Amino acid sequence: MKVEFLTAEIGSTTTVLSAFSCDASGSMRFVGQGESYTTVNENDVTIGIDNALRNLKRSLGCDNLEWSVFLASSSAAGGLRMTVHGLVYDMTVKAAREAALGAGGVIKLVTAGKLSERDLKKIEAANPKLILLAGGVDYGEKETVVHNAEILRDLDQNIPIIFAGNVAAADDVLEIISTNGRDVHIVDNVYPRIDELNVEPTRQVIREVFSKNIVNGPGMEKVYSVIDKPIIPTPAAVMLATELFSQVNDDVIVVDIGGATTDVDSVTDGDPEIASILLAPEPRSKRTVEGDLGIYVNASHVIEQIGRDELGKEFPDLENILRNLTPYPKNDRDEAFSLRLAAYCFETSIRRHAGTIKQLYGPTGRTEVAYGKDLTAVKSVIGTGGILSRSKFSSKIMKIVRTLSAKHEKELLPKSSVRLFRDRNYIFGAVGLISTVDLPSARDLVENSLEELNTT
- How would DSSP label each residue in 21-56? EE-TTS-EEEEEEEEEE--GGGT-HHHHHHHHHHHH
CATH number at residue 43: 3.30.420.40
Are residues 255 and 382 located together in one domain of the fold? Answer: yes
Is there a single domain that holds both residue 344 and residue 308? yes
Spatial distance between the Cα atoms of 335 and 342, rounded to a whole number of angstroms:
10
CB 42 within 8 A of CB 51: no
Q: Is residue 407 part of a domain?
A: yes
d(CA 192, CA 135): 9
Bridge partner residues of 422 (DSSP): 383, 451
Nearest in space to 79 (alpha carbons), one of 182, 209, 195, 183: 209
Tally helices (H) and strands (E) across the chain: 17, 18
- Per the rule left: phi > 0, alpha: psi between -120 and 50, beta: everything else, 19 is beta
Cβ neighbours of 304 (radius 10 Å): 11
Same domain (yes/no): 206, 95:
yes
Does residue 298 sit in the same domain as residue 169? no
Q: Is residue 12 assigned to a domain? A: yes
Residues 358, 295, single domain; the answer is yes
* pTM for this prediction: 0.86
* Dist. CA 84–CA 389, nearest whole Å: 33
> What pLDDT score was predicted for residue 99?
87
Amino acid residing at 42: E
Using CB atoms within 10 Å of the CB of residue 352, give its burial: 0 to 12 exposed, 13 to 18 middle, 19+ buried.
middle
The residue among 170, 195, 225 that closes a domain is: 225
Range of the domain at 48: 2-77+221-225
Rounded to whole angstroms, how far apart are CA atoms 375 and 355?
8
Which CATH number is 144's domain given? 3.40.50.2300
Does 73 share its domain with 158? no
- E-only strand ranges, 87-216: 105-112, 130-133, 161-163, 184-186
> Does the residue 456 lie in any domain?
no
The per-residue pLDDT for 213 is 73
Query: Strand ranges (DSSP E) for 385-427?
Result: 419-422
Residues 135, 156 within the same domain: yes
Q: Is the same domain home to 160 and 37?
A: no
Mean pLDDT per 10-residue run, the chain (456 residues)? 94 88 93 90 88 95 94 78 90 86 85 94 93 94 95 90 96 90 92 89 88 71 86 89 93 92 94 91 91 88 93 91 82 90 96 93 83 96 90 92 96 96 94 96 93 80
Q: Give a yes or no: residue 378 inside a domain.
A: yes
**Whether 269 and 185 share a structural domain:** no
Instruction: Evaluate whether residue 437 is within a structural domain.
Output: no
Query: Is 253 found in the same domain as 121?
Result: no
Dihedral angle over CA of 159, 164, 166, 168, nearest 10: 70
pLDDT at 362: 74
Task: Say if 113 falls within a structural domain.
Answer: yes
What pLDDT does 217 receive? 65
Q: Would you say the C-alpha torsion 288, 270, 88, 208 has a positive or negative sign?
A: positive
In a domain, 452, yes or no: no
pLDDT at 78: 61
Residues 158 and 28 in one domain: no
* Domain end position, chosen among 193, 225, 257: 225
- Coil, helix or strand for 284? coil
Listed residues 162, 184, 215: the one ending a domain? 215
Number of domains in the chain: 3
Does residue 272 fall inside a structural domain? yes
421 and 374 share one domain:
yes
